[in-house]
Structure 1
Amino acid sequence: MNQLEKILKQFMYFSVVMLLFMCNARSATHYVVGVENIEYLPYYDGSGIDKADYYGFSEKLLTLFAQQHEFELEFYALPINRLYKEFIEHRHVDFKYPDNPKWKPSYKASFMDVNDIIYSRPIVETKTGIASLNKKITISECVSFATVRGFTPQSFKSLMYSKKIELIETANVMELIELLLKERVKCIYISNDVLDYNIVKYFKLIRPVYFQNQLSVDLQTFSLSSIEYPGIVKKFDQFLVSHKIQINKLKQQYHIKN
């Protein structure tokens, strides 16, 4: 083997080593975040309606976190029930957002020790309840009731399972609000922030929509969860504390109250 052949061989070996190193480095910093494929602005939109894969407050927040640690995040939008399968059963996503220890506890427990799921500290707290065209309404007057498919109205389960109530599950928030405005249903289950944001942005109201603060409300927090990467969740917790001022400005930008 002459000198030129030795140099070429060494060069090829070095190139292969560098390629493997680059691939390993990428896989170590590239993560898939499973998100919901619905429009739930201002929090997030994974519906693809505006030809964007994922955007809103949550995308900005998670991207800012990734930039601080030189991570590459890929957002994978799925229907809510399938998202749980991909996260819990198949482990095809590294993180789930949003998540909450109180969501689908029996489903999670049927596949694994629920303590194996690590949750970040709460990012936002949503106020979710009943909205109606009536200024004030009672639960007994909610003879027809709509919610986004996959959502569980904790304080209003009786409405979902009552044979006397007409229940409609919609694919997205826009459809949910339209059902109410067209008087197809008496009540809808929705976050007050989401209701306000969507009405201002997408609807010209003939009559006002009222969030029923006098009825029970579900205060639900959004967290980032993971099974395989508790260390990243811990870094995210630290980020939420160290970047609190930036995060609050981001909330103000998206008119998020909590």
Structure 2
Amino acid sequence: MLKLVRILIVVICCILICVLGTIYSFIRFKNPSNVGVMARWFGRLYPLFGLQVEHRFPENKENFGRAIYIGNHQNNYDMVTISYMVQPRTVSVGKKSLMWIPFFGILYWVTGNVFLDRENRSKAHGTMTQLAERINKDNLSIWMFPEGTRSRGRGLLPFKTGAFYAAVAAGVPIIPVVCSTTHNKINLNRWDNGKVICEMMAPIDTSGYSKETVRDLATYCHDLMEKRIAELDVEIMQFHQNKESSNA
């Protein structure tokens, strides 16, 4: 029963956000900060899932400037966890099929996000080149999930190089954003689904890399994020153990 109630409330809230967000974004048509506003609207829905989400930001995040943010992409719950971390003047890159999701598709388009045609590699490569140009021309940051798909419990998947190619071409840093594991941790029939930690890490300088070494950059970022996610998972486990001990 709790699951059905939750699903109903979440669906209603998501539709309302999409409708009101679309109107808001049409008024500020494709303003780069629209994406962050909508992401934070969705990110505030986490209590409906019985989650406690801690968002950790570096103290000087306002001074980071243009960058490419990369996050781990786990499942649909990313919409109410890691999405809250999207910063002002940051747009995301998503697959073209998102356009056809009822209500959400038009919101994704009107907020100014970038669509990627994954089926056409030459077009996808061209999109990365255009992103690199837009970052500096329009004073933008870009949010990407370099795994390219949801991991669904398979750990941090290998990274595609598009985000890193664009960062090197634009001369901007990579900023990793990680979220502790949520796979098989959320039961909608359970009132309390525990704690999740989302953390923005320090910027990674890309000036020492070239187009020929973007794979090295991708590997370095992958290993760094994988290690930090494991550390966050241990922290979450200890948090719940201490909570159980105090309640015993």
TM bucket, shorter chain: under 0.3
TM-score of the superposed pair, with normalisation by structure 2: 0.25
State which structure, 1 or 2, has the greater radius of gyration over its C-alpha atoms: 1
TM-score of the superposed pair, with normalisation by structure 1: 0.25
Q: Going by fraction, where is strand more abundant, 1 or 2? A: 1
